Chains A and B, each alone.
Chain A
Amino acid sequence: MKNEKLLCSIGNIADKYIAEAQPVAVQPQKSKVVMLFRKTSIRAAAVAASLLLCAFTYYIATGGDLWLQQPAKNPTETVRSAIENQVGKDYTIRIEGKSFEIDEVETARVVERFISGVIAERRGWSDEYLAEHFIVVKAVYYAEYDHTQTTRSDGDVVQYFYLTRDIQSKEWTIVDNSGNMNRPNEKPDLETGAALSLQEQIESYLAELFNEAYTPYYDGLHYEISNYEEIILDDECAATFLWTMYHLGKGWDVASDEGVETQGNFNLQATATLNSDGELDVSTLIILADSSAVGAPNYTIPIEDFFPDQLTTP
């Protein structure tokens, strides 16, 4: 075929053009030292997953609350060290680890829900790679805190820890943990202009997007996020949630619906990179809708595909 010949000929273009166009996502792996100083290389860090970088990015992601972990070849030992080392913090009176176990089901769920797709594609992670380099450990521990110093609650805590494995040392490092069960209250103070949470940043972005798309059609637009879950891996965040759009019916189909509040639901996944302050880089934000009719979610449809265009396209 002629076009095959052309495609083959393109294969022989000058090296300088091939090198110039080398996609960021597939650039050759750099050394650990270089990675620390180059933002583009930080993306590649998950592949090499240097311990220092993981600690560094986790430090940023958690606002400085390092886990004081000791990376180990057994991921449950890494988590155990992180929990036990909490006792060294000023506000901790007592910590007692009860159980630490690999949670295969949660690992599969997190991979399927948050990592497969955009993040895996961006990082060039195959299923095989993920199977060997990402894991979730469930930890159960008892904690007592000094309430003059922290708002954390005493008692049993169940928490999931997300770990990646260094490709060379084979040691596992915590890069994120579930929920806010054992963290200081990070609820933003909107009146004082404190930083927005990732959920609020996503909500704000989506509200603006939906307002722009639906204002020509509907009145009384407002929105709600529920079932929100997020995970942060190095400098990337993925979140899944139910997005509900409320609006007043126009009565176009059924006259009695006019003025009655109606709702539309969207199961969405948002992925974005985080800047050095741990905030979403909105220019990298991708919102995909679940395209699966039944069973496990499959986030593949850009949200923009749902927007009506009868009144906005000439």
Chain B
Amino acid sequence: MEDSTIIDLFWERSDTAIGETAKKYSRYCHSIAFNILLNKEDAEECVNDTYLNAWNAIPPKRPNCLATFLGKITRNLSLDKFKKYSAAKRGHGQMEIALSELDEVLPSTTSVEQAMDEKELMTLLDEFLEGLEKQKRIIFVQRYWYLMPIKAIAEQFNIGESQVKSTLFRIRKELKSHFEREGVML
């Protein structure tokens, strides 16, 4: 079913809206949640909550891209759940590794007075991504948005894991320089 038809079902408050969404996007959402949580039951719970959130958000919203709309909800719900787990020392999965990788991106300097707000940071990130060549950009987004394992990214591009790691390392260095130039303090 086309996305626009599914969105129409939400607007009509049709009982089939969630079913059609699940039919088309359950695997996509489940994969995002599972990469973060590494737990099938928790991932499933986040996916179900995603449908509920979508139900509550549409209307009034009419997403331009239903996939990324749902993906963002799933990612946020999964990150929230991960944080709860971390507090209870149960956290694991790609999230933890990705977090440690991102440590090196953050400038160590404290000379910048103003902490960057969310919107400015987002703009900076979009600018940075726009400047990357396509394959590098996809690798970066797959790693830090989809939280995909290095191995899965390597398989997708038919390249070695070491090549993915070195590509990510170089991108993180570039991102760090980009942030430093803009005086970012998180």
A binding-site residues for B, Cβ under 8 Å: 1-15, 17-29, 44, 47, 121-122, 124, 126-128, 283-284, 286
The B contact surface, by secondary structure, is helix
**A19 & B68 in contact (Cβ 8 Å cutoff):** yes
Q: Are A13 and B102 in contact (CB under 8 A)?
A: no
B13 within 8 A of A: no
Per the 8 Å Cβ criterion, residues 132-184 of B in contact with A are 134, 137-138, 141-142, 144-146, 148, 152, 155-156, 158
Q: How far is the CA of A202 from the CA of B80 in the complex (A)?
A: 44
Instruction: Find chain A residues with CB under 8 A from B83 CB.
Output: 4
Question: Given known contacts A23-B31, A124-B27, is B64 in contact with A7 (CB within 8 Å)?
Answer: no
Give the CA-CA distance A3 to B121 in the complex, in Å: 13
Q: Which chain A residue has the least Cβ–Cβ distance from B106?
A: A2
Q: Which of B103, B137, B186 contacts A5 (CB 8 A)?
A: B186
Q: Is the CB of A1 within 8 A of B99?
A: yes
Q: Can you report 22 residue pairs joining A to B where beta carbons are below 8 Å apart?
A: A5-B121, A6-B105, A6-B121, A10-B145, A13-B122, A13-B125, A13-B145, A14-B126, A14-B129, A17-B129, A18-B67, A18-B141, A19-B68, A20-B138, A21-B141, A22-B28, A25-B31, A28-B28, A28-B67, A29-B26, A122-B155, A124-B30
Interface residues of B, count at CB 8 A: 48
Q: Give 10 nearest A-B pairs by CB, closest first.
A: A21-B141, A26-B31, A2-B186, A3-B102, A15-B68, A21-B138, A18-B68, A9-B121, A124-B27, A26-B28
Query: Within the assembled complex, what's the spacing in Å between the Cα atoms of A159 and B185?
Result: 66
Whether B141 lies near A20 (C-beta < 8 A) is yes
**Cβ of A21 to closest chain B Cβ, rounded Å:** 4
Q: How far is the CA of A286 from the CA of B118 in the complex (A)?
A: 41
Given the known A-B contacts A3-B106, A5-B186, A17-B129, are A28 and B24 also in contact in the complex, defined by CB atoms under 8 Å?
Answer: yes
Q: How far is the CA of A73 from the CA of B142 in the complex (A)?
A: 39
Residue in A closest to B26 when the chains form the complex, CB atoms: A29
Give every chain B residue within 8 A of A126 (Cβ-Cβ): 30, 40
Residues of B within 8 A of A (CB): 23-28, 30-32, 40, 64-65, 67-68, 71-72, 75-76, 79, 83, 95, 98-100, 102-103, 105-106, 118, 121-122, 125-126, 129, 134, 137-138, 141-142, 144-146, 148, 152, 155-156, 158, 186
Interface centre among A7, A29, A126 (most CB of B within 10 A): A7
| B125 in complex: contacting residue of A10, A24, A26, A47, CB < 8 Å | A10
Contacts of A11 in B (CB 8 A): 72, 75-76, 79, 145
Q: How far apart are the CA atoms of A3 and B126 in the complex, in Å?
A: 17
A194 to nearest B CB, angstroms?
28
B23 x A29 contact (CB < 8 A): yes
Across-interface contacts of B103 in A (CB, < 8 A): 3
Residues of A contacting B75 in the complex (Cβ-Cβ under 8 angstroms)? 11
CB neighbours of B68 from chain A (8 A): 15, 18-19
